[in-house]
A and B are shown apart, each in its own frame.
Chain A
């Protein structure tokens, strides 16, 4: 199976200088994994384990200290590659004084979609995320859940092949979580490759084909779906056990 994403010996160190003192902290350390075409890949870890850092390194928001990130065999910074990625941040922020239509128009243009396609896709994705009724309202009036939906809409607008979702169910009510899950399943069925990080073990259990467990910036274990399928709660046991063995503070 072809790999969509290849992460090779990826390391990120943060250097901070203050009043003559320099401190070096590790974001991620020597990460190596790949995400196969058509799979749902989960990143699981405690707060500060390096999940968001990993996603930001993949997306070019952070620059690696060493190591490589390749998407479809090419450098992750390439424009052609980024056209095919959709990203939903943990808490999507938008321009408060703009409407969803205006914001999606911006993102569509930046994703190099032509004008007619932007217009038609905007209507489509707003309907998909059930936000068509608020298409022309300024986003300062939106609730957290509504913003999350718009976040999803902008991630899907340009019909990307690879979706990167950072804590996609944060801020959603139970119905929203279920709808989100169904959407992810549907997208995966259509052939989208999905990488998502989550605290929610139950969501990962239901959706992921493989899960990488991160602890203190390191990849400590990579587990296949077969390890937890048909055993509800098994993923949580594996996660806790892995962390204990890695010496993480629980």
Chain B
């Protein structure tokens, strides 16, 4: 073995040893400046996260988690798509805090927003106000509350005849609600209230009529 090779091996070994020392010092420093949080959740699929006032949140584990945190007050959340549990905790230096979260079914938070609307904003460029569009979305959601996607075909949008007596405007378009395609008419005037008429394609009799244009 040449002496040059020995030198390189020594240098490499010392670097690795130095990193080990650094890791150990950093670990000791960490445990002396933080507290340890141990979380378990009854729902093993729940995502566990922590947040603090005026700070970002961070996920720390699924089902259970261990995390070193700086001293302070945090909100710990265990959540799935249907259930959630929150707990406010205080982390103290050098101390270990163990908590168990029991997620319970979430209250209905956004019943009209389980649906994704695609292309609906194009109606605004044809004359609908944002408030009227919101009303229209509400009526479409009321017709198909469990729809995953409602797509407005932008190229199908056309203005209908305006009623000279009532001043009600009309837009006709086709809309796809999940796998079904419908013809639709939205009647609107000056307020945010709109009327929605839905037809099966080719039919002149509405299968659904809701709201009123005022």
Our verdict on whether A and B bind, yes or no, reads: no
